[in-house]
Every structure is written in structure tokens, then in C-alpha cells.
Amino acid sequence: MNKEYTSLGLMSGTSGDGVDASIILSDGNTKFEVIKDKYFEYDNDMYCNIHSLKEKIQNTKDLEKLNKELKELERNITLFHAKIFKELNKKNNIEIIGFHGQTILHSPQNKISKQIGDGQLLSQLAKKDIVYDFRQNDIENGGEGAPLTPIFHEMITVQKKIDLPLCILNIGGISNVSIIKKKKPGSVSLISRDIGPGNCLIDSWIRKNSEKKFDLDGLLAERGNKNEIILEQAIDLFSNRPNQNSFSLDVNDFDVSFARGLSLEDGASTLTDFTAKLIGEGLEQLFLEKNVMISKILICGGGRKNQFLIKKIKENLSHNIIIQSIDNYGINGDFVESQAFAFLAVRSIKQLPISYPETTGCSSPTTGGKIIYFR
């Protein structure tokens, strides 16, 4: 049970710009050591293909209609991941690979979460055991397939001896939150949710209205002026959306069209305010709903670098809550998710649960991804 594995986590997030890769040594429980973190950027063709297909796919029928294009993209993405493995394995004896793949459609109400990435092909190329398709087993057990990182967040707090209760906010394409609180001596309690957009709306706006991929440090938004009328209408629409008690969200749950007609800077400003308001109010609502007093929030993910967004989130939180970067605790905030999927791969190999009723809505603690054992 205490066997340790050298595990490679490969994470391609909703930004679709590349792959975060992390090699860890872990027993899948409390022992955890980072060996290497490295980012591998997609070329422009791959980046454009990912976003072009994602924008075309809104439902399962679209998956069927675009099956040929998806298969081609899946093969190219898998070959890219295989090259990453080949480079990183030269100096590290990697034993297992946690292969997240690229999310194309996440629709838990329809019992589907589609990540493209050919686990069988990657196993053949890498000649290693592969854990992939992490979300489907949770969905089949009544969960929403996301978020899956809370059990790793819990392990971080134990290893770094961070005082509880604590909130970890990951701002990727979607924002998700883990609340880790004391339950009784020697154990902890986990609560997790997706609470709103992260970078997805801002990035989409910048891609569609400029030659840039994102708003560096929020400088465009800071130069712009938010449109109060558009902002309030968008917030009202979100507040009255169906499935308000959902544990997870998808980038398809959000649309930048409400900012249509605004200048690049004003659109960025309005979307940043919208994102920050949903995150801040979502956090406050969750703290109240779960009756937990949070004094500190640690932020990870690419969105933590958008200082204007962080400033706006603070404006929507109680003044006594401290927001810090997770980097302050010796954790690289760019690689928390890739480390997490390396960790989840170990737990999957050991048949340990990776999701829980209070993190994804599953009926009982549920084990993780599909495993391909290389023989």
C-alpha cells in the first residue's frame, strides 16, 4: 500500500495553448515530491485547431458530426504528448503516466465529459502504464466528473502544514474551489465546486478581437471602462440560469457575445468585472452555505497572474479574507493541475478514490481513470 511511483502528469487545460508536464514521486496518499515541472507549447496550427473544434462542439451530435476531425486532432495531440514523455524520460525512470487529454465537451447533465487523447496509442509509444479518461467513472456513479483536484489540494495542506480551514482557488479556464476544513483530529473534510468562469471569457474575447491570446497582467482590461448596463444584464442572466446547484461548469456555459460592440479594452474590462464578480460572490455564497469561516485563500492557475482580475475579485470578497499566491508556500502555481493528475494516476493504480460526494456529487467515494497496463 505504501509503494511509491514515479508518475508523469500531463495536463492540457481549457486555454488549449500547450501541455503542463510534472514528474512526481508519490505513494498516492501523503508522500509527495516534485521531480520536474515543464511547459510544452503547442504550435499555432494545433492551438487554432483545438479552439476551432471546441467552438463548433456544443452537444453530443456535434461530436458525431465532427468525428473525423476529432480523430485527427486526437492523434496529433497524443503524438505531441508522446514526444514530451520521450524528452522527460531520458533522465527520469517514469513508471506511470496520468494523461488528462484535451477537454472538448463537458456536459455532466448528459452524462458525458469528452477529453481527446488516445491512451492506447500513448501506452504503445511510451511503453508505460497509462491512466486516462479520469472523469467518466465519476459520472457513471452520479457525479459530474469535476472538479477532480481537491484530494490533491488536501494533500498539499497536509504536506505544507498549512493551517485549516483553507480555501484553494484555481483560476484556469474555469474557476474551481476546494475548501479544506478540519473534521476531527487526524482527518480533514473536503468541499469543492466550479464557481464560475476563470480565464475562458477574457481569453476568448482577446483571441477574437486581437492577435493576442490573452490579456497579459490584465493591462487591456485596466485601460478600459466596464459597461455597467451590459454587466448587470449578464449577471442577471447567470443568476437565473438552470442547473444552479451544479458542481461543475464548462466553457460552453459562457459566451462573450454579450460584450459584442464594445472596444477591445472596454470588452476586456467588462468581462473581467463579470468574471471577478461571479468568483467573489460564488466564494462568499459557498462559505455561507457550508457554514465555514475562511480567512485565507490560496490562488493557483494561470489566472493568478492577472493582477487586475485578482484586484477585482478582492473587491467582491469580505475585507478580512487574505488572498495569497500558492507560490508563497513553495508550490509552483502553474503546475498544480499537472502534479494533481500525476498524483491521481497513482491513486487510480492503487484503486483509491479520487472523487467524493462533496467534490463532484458522486453517490460515494469513487476511484479514478481507466488504466492501460503495458505488457
**pLDDT tens-digit profile of 186-220?**
555 899 999 999 999 999 999 999 999 999 999 99
pLDDT for the residue numbered 53: 93
The mean per-residue pLDDT over the stretch 215-243 comes to 92
Secondary structure of 353-368 in HEC code, one letter for each residue: EEECHHHHCCCCCEEC
Number of structural domains in the chain = 2
Beta bridge partners of 99: 10, 132
In this structure, what CATH number is given to the domain that contains residue 187? 3.30.420.40
Kindly give, in sequence order, each residue whose CB lies less than 8 Å from that of residue 229, ignoring residues fewer than 6 positions away: none
How do residues 56-92 score in pLDDT, each as one tens digit?
Answer: 998 889 999 999 999 999 999 999 999 999 999 998 9
Structure letter (DSSP) for residue 198? S
Could you tell me the three cell numbers for 175? 474557476
Whether residues 162 and 135 share a domain: the answer is: no
Whether residues 183 and 309 share a domain: the answer is: yes
Beta bridge partners of 190: 180
> Residue 98 and residue 133: Cα distance in Å, rounded?
9
Q: What is the domain extent for residue 103?
A: 5-144+335-372
Closest CA to 256 of 194, 196, 204: 204
Write the burial class of residue 304 (CB in 10 Å: 0-12 exposed, 13-18 middle, 19+ buried).
Answer: buried
Beta bridge partners of 197: 174
Whether residues 358 and 243 share a domain: the answer is: no
